[in-house]
Structure 1
Amino acid sequence: MDEDTLAQLAALAAKCADASVWPLSDDALVDCLDTIHQITQTLTAAQSHLIREIDGRGLPVARHASSTPVWLREHLRVSVHAAKRMVELARAVDERPALDAALVAGVVNAEQAAVVAAAIRDLPVDPGLVDRAEAVLIGQAQQFEPAILRKAGERVLAHVAPELADARDAAALRRQEARAWQTRAFQLTRLGDGRVRVTGWLDEVGAATVNAALDPLCAPHRDGDEPRTPAQRRADALVAVCDLATRTEQLPDSGGQRPHVVVTVPFAALREQVEAGTLDTGGRISPAQVRQLACDAQIIPAVLGGDGQVLDLGRTRRLITGPLRRALELRDRGCAFPGCDRPPRWCHGHHIRAWTESGPTSLDNSVLLCGYHHRIIHSGQWTVRLAADGLPEFIPPSHVDPHREPRRNRYHHRT
C-alpha cells in the first residue's frame, strides 16, 4: 500500500461520487449499488488491517491515548462505540484468515463478519469444529442479514456437531437461569408528580407466576365498554392482586402487625370531606381517594400528641407493636435520623432509654430508626431524645459537630 495507490483510489472514489446517477437504468442502479457495496467491504478489510497493525505496534498508547478505541475516536472523529467495533473487527479478521478473505472478496460485510466472529468465539475449543462452523456461517451470509445470521450462529453447533449441542444448550440454560435469579429486582420509585414508577427484572418462572396471577384480572370489560389500555389493565391487576393478598392471613407481619396501608388525615377534615390525606409512603392522595379508602377500613383515632389510644404498655411487653407502632409511624413518618429517607416499613422501633434499663414501651420513649442508623445509635456516638414538642432530635458526636447542636430529620416533615 503506497501513496500513489491511495491517491488513485481517492480520485476514483471522488469520480464515482461526482457522477450523475439519474441516467442509469433500474438494473444499472442496482448493479452499481452492489459493486460499490462490495468495494466498500474490501476497503473495510484494508482499514481493519491498518487498525490491527496500529494496535499491535502500540501506537495509540505511545501517543498517550488510554486505548486504541479512544485514539480512533479522537483521530477519526467517530463515536467510541464505532471505534470499538473497528478494533474488534480488526482483531477478528486478524485471527481468522478465512473470514478476512471473505471480507476482502465482499462475500460478507463488516456487520456479518462481526456476527460470525462472535458466534465462533463462543464455540468449544476444537480447531476443526470452529473452521467448519465458520465456513457454514460465511456461506449463509450470502442469504441472511446480520440479525438472522446471528440466530443461525446460535444454532451452528447443532449443525456441525449435534452431539455437543444438547450439552452446551443445557449448560447455557443453567447459566442463564442463575444470572436471571441473581439479578432479579423490583423497585417502586416515586416521581413526585403523583406517579410511582415500577421497574424490575424477573426470571422466567417468576414471570410466569406473575402472569398467571395477573392474566385473569387483565381481561377487558365484557360489555365492550373498556376505556383502559392493556397496560392500564395490567397495572390495575397488579394492585388488585396485592390488595387481595393484604386481606389474607397468610402474609408475614410488617413492623409487628399485619400488612396495612395508613392514611393520615384529621378526623374533622375527613368528616367534612375537604382535606387531602398522606399515605405512610409519604405520597399524598385526594379527599376523594381518602373517602374511598375509609369506606372499607377501620377508622383508628390517632391524634398526634394526644391520648387517642392507650400507648403505655407497661413492662409486660417490650416490642413496639400494634397501636404504639402506628402512633410511632404517624409521628416520625420514617427513620428519624437526620437526613435519612427510609420509610416506616424499613424501620425498627427503638427504645430511647433501653428496656433493659427499665425504659418503658411508650411513645415518649420510642423512635423509628432504619437498620443502619439503629446500629449507629447503639454504637454510642450519637444520642437521641425527644424535644419539648415531642419530636425526636439527635445529638451528634463532637468530631461531627464540636458544639453538639441537636439535629432533626427534615426529610419526612418537609411538607
Structure 2
Amino acid sequence: MQIAARFQGIAADLRGDAGEKDAAMAGLGDEDLLEVMAAIEAAGRALSAWQIRVAGEVGVRSRSELGDEGLSRSQNFTSPVKLVSTVTGTSARESKSRLEIGRRLRGTVLLGGGEGPAPFPAVAQALDEGSLGAETASIIASRCAELAERGCAPDVVASAEQTLVDETITNHLTADQTSRLTTHLREVIDPDGAEPRDERLQQQRSLTIGQASDGMIRGRFALTPEQGSVWLASIQAMQSPRIAGSPSSGPRFLTEDEYVAQTATADIHSQVQKNADTITELIARAAGAPDMPRLNGATTTLNVHITLDNLETGRGVGWIDGINEPVPASTIAQLRCSSPTAVTLFNDRGAVLYHGKTERLFTPAQNRALAARDGGCVWPDCDRPPSFCETHHANEWVSADHPPGRTDIDNGVLLCHFHHSHLHKSSWKLTMQSGVPHLIPPRWIDIEQTPIPTTRRRTTHRPAA
C-alpha cells in the first residue's frame, strides 16, 4: 500500500479550492504562468505514465484465457474496460485507451507465465521519464505496430520508433505534429502499404441521413481522403472572406476596402452552422447545373406546396415534397427567392390551381404539381413515390369532356405502373370531383359505388362539420 499512500499524499498536496488557485495565478507574471503550466504538464505526464502502467497490469491480469479467475471477472465486471472505468470514474473510451497503450508497451505473456521483451522500449522509457505524453506515446506505438503487422523487419521498426521518439522530444513536437511525422515516415518505410490501406478506407466510406422526430435531418458520414479533400477545399473556397464572385464572372479577390467592410459586418453564425449552409449551397448549385440528371424532364427542384391564402397572408405552413415536417410561410417565401423551387398553390378544397398546358402528354411542370397534390400513387395503401409513377388522364384524353389536345392538371392523377395497368383492366373507375381524384369501386365491393378520395395531398382544408 506504500504506492497508494504516496499518490494519496500527492493528491492531498495539490488539492485546493478555486479561490486559492485563482489567487495563485493572479500573482504570476506571464512567463511565470507559462512555466507553471509546463511544470504541471510534466507532473501530469508522470501521473499518466503510472495510469498507463497500472491499466496495462489490469489488462494482463484480466486476459481472457484466465476466465473467471481473471481480475475483471473475479470483481464481477464483464471486461477490464468496465473495471477501469468504474474504479477511475473515466469514460469507457478513456479506459480503453489506457488499456490499449498499456498492452502495447507490455511484452507478450509466455506459456510459463513469464513476459517477453517489451516491443517498444524507446516509447516506454520516454513515457516513464515524462518526455512523452500519453497521447503521443500511443500514436508512435500504434504506427510502429502497423509497420510490424505489415511485415517490416524488427530492426526497421525499432529504428522508426527511435527516430519518432527522438524527433518529438528534440523538436518539442505536439501530438498532432508527431502524428503527421509518423505518416510521412510510414510512407518512406512501407510505400507498398498505400494500396491496401486505401482499399480499407474505400470500404469504410459512408453517408447515412434521415429525418429525426423533431423535423431535423441528421446523419453521419465517413469520407476517404480524396473525397474529404474535395469537401474541405470547396467549403474553404466558399467561406474565404477574401474571395468574391458570381456564376458569370467567377471568383475574384476582394479589395482591401471590400474586405474590411465585409469583416466589420461579419455574421455571428457558428462555424458548424456556416459549414452546413455552405454544403447546402454547394449541393443546390450542383443540382441546378445543366448536365445534372433529369427526373420527368426537369432538373432537381424543390417542390413546395402551400395554400393560396397562406401564401398571400404570410402565415401558416407549407410542405416540401419528401419531407414530413412542415415549414413556415416565411421559409417558403425565402425559398422562392433564392432556390430552384416550384411552388404549387392549392385552393381551400385542396385542388391544385390551374397552371396546365394544352399537350397530349403532361409536362414536367404539370407532373410536379401532380406530385405535390397526390404525393405518389393515389391508389389506397400504395406507397410508391412520385418518381415511380405514371400520369393518367382521369377522363380519357379523347372524351367529349376533354377533347383531343387538352391535358390539364385537373384531369391528371399519379398511378404506379401496376395500378395504372390494373385500372385500365378492372371494374374500378377513376374520376375527378372538385379537382380532386376519387376512385369508384365496383358494385360488388360497394353497391352504392361511393367515390373514395384518394389523394395524399397535405394542404387540404377539411370543411367545417
The bucket for the TM-score relative to the shorter chain is 0.5 to 0.7
Aligned with 1:349: secondary structure? strand
Selected match of 2:166 from 139, 155, 158 = 139
1:187-231 Cα distance to aligned partner (Å, 9 max, x none)? 899976xx9889976443466568778963487797665445497
TM-score by structure 2 length? 0.55
Inter-partner Cα distance in structure 1 for 2:214 and 2:197:
38
Inter-partner Cα distance in structure 2 for 1:15 and 1:244:
64
Cα distance 1:174–1:407, how it changes in 2: closer, same or farther (>3 A)? Answer: same
Selected match of 2:413 from 341, 348, 366 = 366
Aligned with 2:389: secondary structure? strand
1:171-193 Cα distance to aligned partner (Å, 9 max, x none)? 656765x469x43688899976x
The one-letter code of the counterpart of 1:94 is R
Task: Trace 1:93-242 onto structure 2 (pairs within 5 A).
Answer: 93-95=105-107, 96=119, 98=121, 99-123=123-147, 124-126=150-152, 127-142=154-169, 143-157=172-186, 162=188, 164-169=189-194, 172=197, 178=202, 182-183=205-206, 202-205=227-230, 208=233, 216-217=245-246, 225-226=261-262, 227=265, 229=267, 235=277, 239=281, 242=284
Judge conservation of contact 2:392–2:412 (CA < 8 Å) in 1. Answer: yes
- 1:91 maps to what in 2? 103
The one-letter code of the counterpart of 2:91 is S
1:258-293 Cα distance to aligned partner (Å, 9 max, x none)? 5555565666887xx535584654644349938975
- 1:3 maps to what in 2? none
Inter-partner Cα distance in structure 2 for 1:308 and 1:208:
45
Task: Give 1:128 shift.
Answer: 1.8
Task: Give 1:330 shift.
Answer: 3.8
Judge conservation of contact 2:120–2:141 (CA < 8 Å) in 1. Answer: no
1:294-337 Cα distance to aligned partner (Å, 9 max, x none)? 9x999999766488366897xx65xx544641441242245668
Inter-partner Cα distance in structure 1 for 2:199 and 2:354:
57
Bigger shift: 84-93 or 39-48? Answer: 39-48
Selected match of 2:354 from 308, 316, 333 = 308
1:320-355 Cα distance to aligned partner (Å, 9 max, x none)? 5446414412422456688999975x55336599x9
Q: Does 1:285 align with 2:332?
A: no
Judge conservation of contact 1:69–1:80 (CA < 8 Å) in 2. Answer: yes
Bigger shift: 148-157 or 136-145? Answer: 136-145
Cα distance 1:189–1:94, how it changes in 2: closer, same or farther (>3 A)? Answer: same
Give the % identical residues. 15
Cα distance 1:363–1:63, how it changes in 2: closer, same or farther (>3 A)? Answer: farther
Task: Trace 1:36-47 onto structure 2 (pairs within 5 A).
Answer: 37-38=45-46, 41-42=49-50, 44-47=52-55
Cα distance 1:114–1:338, how it changes in 2: closer, same or farther (>3 A)? Answer: farther
- 1:349 maps to what in 2? 390
Aligned with 1:122: secondary structure? helix
Unaligned regions of 5+ residues in structure 2, if any?
25-31, 108-118, 442-451
- 1:12 maps to what in 2? 6
Cα distance 1:166–1:255, how it changes in 2: closer, same or farther (>3 A)? Answer: same
Inter-partner Cα distance in structure 2 for 1:150 and 1:311:
63
Q: Tell me how many residue pairs correspond in the alignment.
A: 370
The one-letter code of the counterpart of 1:183 is S
Unaligned regions of 5+ residues in structure 1, if any?
1-6, 396-405
Judge conservation of contact 2:374–2:414 (CA < 8 Å) in 1. Answer: yes
- 2:85 maps to what in 1? 73
Inter-partner Cα distance in structure 2 for 1:128 and 1:306:
77
Inter-partner Cα distance in structure 1 for 2:355 and 2:366:
8
Cα distance 1:100–1:342, how it changes in 2: closer, same or farther (>3 A)? Answer: farther
Inter-partner Cα distance in structure 2 for 1:101 and 1:91:
15
1:111-156 Cα distance to aligned partner (Å, 9 max, x none)? 3321221111221322221121122223345343433322222223
Task: Trace 1:375-386 onto structure 2 (pairs within 5 A).
Answer: none
Q: Does 1:55 align with 2:63?
A: yes
Inter-partner Cα distance in structure 1 for 2:48 and 2:391:
71
Judge conservation of contact 1:352–1:384 (CA < 8 Å) in 2. Answer: no
Bigger shift: 142-151 or 60-69? Answer: 60-69
Task: Give 1:88 shift.
Answer: 0.5
Inter-partner Cα distance in structure 1 for 2:287 and 2:44:
64
Judge conservation of contact 1:331–1:391 (CA < 8 Å) in 2. Answer: no
Task: Give 1:103 shift.
Answer: 3.9
Judge conservation of contact 1:190–1:196 (CA < 8 Å) in 2. Answer: no
Judge conservation of contact 2:392–2:415 (CA < 8 Å) in 1. Answer: no
Inter-partner Cα distance in structure 1 for 2:305 and 2:40:
74
Inter-partner Cα distance in structure 2 for 1:87 and 1:257:
57
